[in-house]
């Protein structure tokens, strides 16, 4: 079995042992191999062998390279990362987007459930590709393997320059806003200090991500537990109200439901975006222990938890708030707490801050691996492919994304940009599922540690494509503007392709000395 990564790399498996730095055949040990080949001599040959190592890997075999990202992410960590990113501020702050499009309580709850199921179908397709290739970068790696360099670069460009920093900025600003909220009792806090605090939050989380990954995942686990406790608390309060007769809003059912397909599509899209963020886990695949088993279990567990808790929390909201109150609120959870908890409602801003910090922490963790993978393959400047000599983390990639995020925080353009790029999030699902189906059809002999039932990706692809078409018809100017923003990466791609040496040698050397980072293939043991 082989893949393609430019002209000098081949992928495959071979049973090897290490003896004085040389790779030798052995019958008792299976090691996944990604071997760099040069034009004069190859280190070893490759043959497709299902009895050998069960999958591709993103890092070179230890026979070739001992300096790479560490495998420190466990099953618990995968669930914490996925749920920690998916449950951001949206469920606390504003389920309004779905309700405003649906028009009724019943249809709104159906959309929440359908959005979770659609997201899981898409994630299952990603899981097959992730377990098959096991390459850092997630979608970036799949696009490079199936579609080539330019689509892969455009995805990485969109994530580094547009989508990720805008998302990080929004999360940091939301955290800062809720930190100031108790101090100003609902009034708008001072703008500049809030932005400075937001920048400080970004770099504090970045510092954590530049240290050992196990510390990041431990923090992520604590924050995920915190937000689940908050949501469970909201659910309990709401259901107590139901048992006490607070069913008036729920009894309205589908009264006032919209009949506009475009509005329903917009609502499902808003729900899909609320579940968004799980993709970052697949960018971390090279750091997951036993990914063939851990990743699929993590995906199923995370989506079941999030979908169930989202549904229960929305039922709790409607048990206390009327549809009109929900639509007129900028912070639904705060209003809910004020009506049910009285003076204890001040804890809600704390939980929202924990939730957004958790989402920011997991997003930076996963997003930095996309830029790192693109740089490792020569599509981004080479210094972004360097990793810490001590911590084995891609420090330059983390810092670059944080610097761009700082620009978005200071200019206040994050929300507007995300509105324009919302359509692209759905298009990524369409393209990624298409890649999975294409690889399944063209490479049926390839070994797949996890093989999804084709009914799920086909249903997911049809639904996602339909929603994308309806969304394009509903608001063509905004959605096509988002496509245009992504296409700004095309001239950058050709510029980098024509000028491989983007950064001066002195800059790279200085960066290595300051940050103590090395290219992945350097052996520093």
Per-residue pLDDT tens digits for 287-324: 898 999 999 999 999 999 999 999 999 999 999 988 88
* Domain contains 206: yes
Residue 126 has pLDDT above 50, yes or no: yes
Instruction: Tokens 């995920």: give the residue.
Output: 224
Q: Dihedral sign, CA of 241, 245, 249, 251?
A: positive
Average pLDDT over residues 477-488: 92
301: domain CATH number is 1.20.1740.10
Count of domains observed in the chain: 1
In a domain, 306, yes or no: yes
| Torsion sign, CA atoms 485, 486, 492, 494 | negative
Identify whether 95 is part of a domain: yes
The structure's pTM equals 0.80
Element (H, E) at 89: none
Q: Is residue 36 part of a domain?
A: no
Measured from the Cβ of residue 52, the count of other Cβ atoms closer than 10 Å reads 20
User: Residue 325 CB: number of other CB atoms within 10 A?
Assistant: 15
Residue 360: pLDDT over 80: yes
Q: What whole-number distance in Å separates Cα of residue 137 and Cα of residue 279? A: 10
| pLDDT at residue 370 greater than cutoff 70 | yes
In a domain, 90, yes or no: yes
Mean pLDDT lowest for which of 53-57, 88-92, 483-487? 53-57
- Pinpoint the alpha helices (H) of 328-413: 332-340, 347-376, 395-411
User: pLDDT at position 468, please?
Assistant: 86
Is residue 134 situated within a structural domain?
A: yes
CB 3 within 8 A of CB 37: no
Res 404: pLDDT: 96
In three-state secondary structure terms, 130 is: helix
> How high is the pLDDT of residue 486?
94
pLDDT higher than threshold 90 for residue 504: no
Q: Give the Cα separation of 389 and 514 in Å (integer).
A: 12
Query: How is residue 70 written in tokens?
Result: 């560490």
Answer with the residue of higher pLDDT: 60 or 388.
Answer: 388
When mean pLDDT is compared over 122-131, 169-178, 516-525, the highest value belongs to: 122-131
CA distance 388 to 370: 16
* Range 386-406 average pLDDT: 92
Q: What is the mean pLDDT of residues 217-239?
A: 90
pLDDT bin (cut points 50, 70, 90) of residue 110 is very high
23 vs 14: CA distance, rounded Å: 10
* Residue 40 lies inside a defined structural domain of this protein: no
- Taking a C-beta distance cutoff of 8 angstroms, is the pair 392, 73 a contact? no
Whether residue 14 is contained in a domain is answered as: no
Q: pLDDT higher for 503 or 3? A: 503
CA 445 to centroid of chain Cα atoms? 30
How many Å apart are CA 252 and CA 275, to the nearest integer? Answer: 26
Query: Given pLDDT bands bounded at 50, 70 and 90, which one contains residue 93?
Result: low
| Pick from 500, 524, 501: nearest CA to 512 | 524
DSSP string, 228-277: HHHHHHHHHHHHHHHHTT--TTGGGTTTT----HHHHHHHHHHHHHHHTT
Domain region containing 158: 75-518
Summarize pLDDT for 263-283 with one digit per residue, the tens.
888 888 888 888 888 899 999
Residue 512 burial (10 A CB sphere; 0-12, 13-18, 19+): middle
């Amino acid at each position: 079995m082989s893949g393609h990564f430019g002209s000098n790399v081949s992928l495959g498996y071979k049973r090897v042992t290490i003896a004085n730095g040389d790779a030798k055949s052995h019958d008792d040990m299976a090691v996944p191999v990604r071997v760099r080949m040069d034009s004069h001599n190859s280190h070893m040959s490759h043959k497709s062998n299902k009895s050998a190592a069960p999958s591709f890997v993103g890092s070179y075999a230890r026979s070739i390279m001992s300096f790479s990202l560490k495998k420190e992410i466990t099953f618990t960590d995968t669930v914490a990362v996925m749920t920690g990113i998916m449950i951001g501020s949206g469920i606390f702050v504003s389920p309004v987007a779905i309700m405003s499009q649906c028009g009724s309580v019943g249809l709104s709850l159906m959309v929440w459930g359908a959005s979770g199921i659609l997201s899981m179908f898409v994630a299952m397709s990603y899981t097959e590709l992730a377990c098959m290739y096991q390459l850092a970068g997630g979608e970036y790696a799949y696009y490079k393997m199936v579609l080539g360099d330019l689509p892969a670069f455009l995805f990485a460009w969109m994530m580094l320059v547009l989508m990720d920093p805008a998302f990080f900025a929004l999360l940091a600003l939301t955290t800062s806003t809720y930190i100031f909220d108790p101090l100003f009792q609902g009034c708008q806090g001072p703008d500049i200090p809030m932005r400075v605090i937001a920048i400080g939050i970004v770099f504090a989380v970045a510092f954590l991500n530049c240290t050992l990954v196990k510390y990041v995942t431990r923090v992520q686990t604590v924050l995920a537990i915190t937000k689940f406790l908050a949501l469970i608390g909201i659910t309990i309060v709401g259901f107590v109200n139901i048992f006490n007769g607070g069913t008036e809003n729920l009894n309205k059912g589908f009264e006032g439901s919209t009949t506009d397909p475009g509005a329903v599509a917009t609502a499902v899209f808003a729900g899909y975006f609320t579940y968004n963020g799980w993709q970052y886990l697949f960018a971390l695949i090279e750091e997951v222990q036993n990914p063939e088993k851990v990743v699929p279990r993590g995906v199923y567990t995370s989506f079941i938890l999030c979908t169930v808790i989202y549904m229960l929390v929305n039922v709790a909201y409607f048990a206390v708030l009327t549809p009109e109150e929900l639509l007129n609120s900028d912070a639904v959870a705060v209003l809910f707490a004020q009506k049910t908890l009285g003076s204890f409602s001040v804890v809600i801003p704390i939980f929202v801050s924990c939730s957004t910090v958790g989402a920011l922490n997991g997003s930076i963790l996963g997003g930095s691996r996309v830029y790192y993978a693109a740089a490792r393959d020569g599509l981004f400047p080479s210094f972004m492919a360097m990793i810490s000599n001590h911590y084995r983390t891609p420090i330059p990639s983390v810092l670059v994304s944080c610097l761009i995020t700082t620009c978005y925080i200071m200019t206040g353009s994050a929300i507007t940009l995300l509105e324009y790029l919302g359509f692209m999030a759905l298009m990524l699902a369409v393209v990624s599922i298409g890649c999975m189906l294409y690889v399944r059809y063209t490479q049926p002999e390839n070994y797949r540690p996890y093989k999804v039932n084709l009914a799920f990706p086909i249903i997911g692809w049809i639904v996602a494509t339909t929603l994308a078409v309806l969304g394009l018809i509903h608001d063509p100017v905004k959605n096509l503007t988002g496509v245009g923003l992504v296409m700004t990466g095309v001239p950058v791609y050709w510029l980098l392709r024509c000028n491989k040496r983007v950064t001066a040698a002195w800059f790279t050397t200085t960066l290595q000395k300051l940050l103590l980072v090395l290219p992945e293939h350097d052996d520093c043991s």
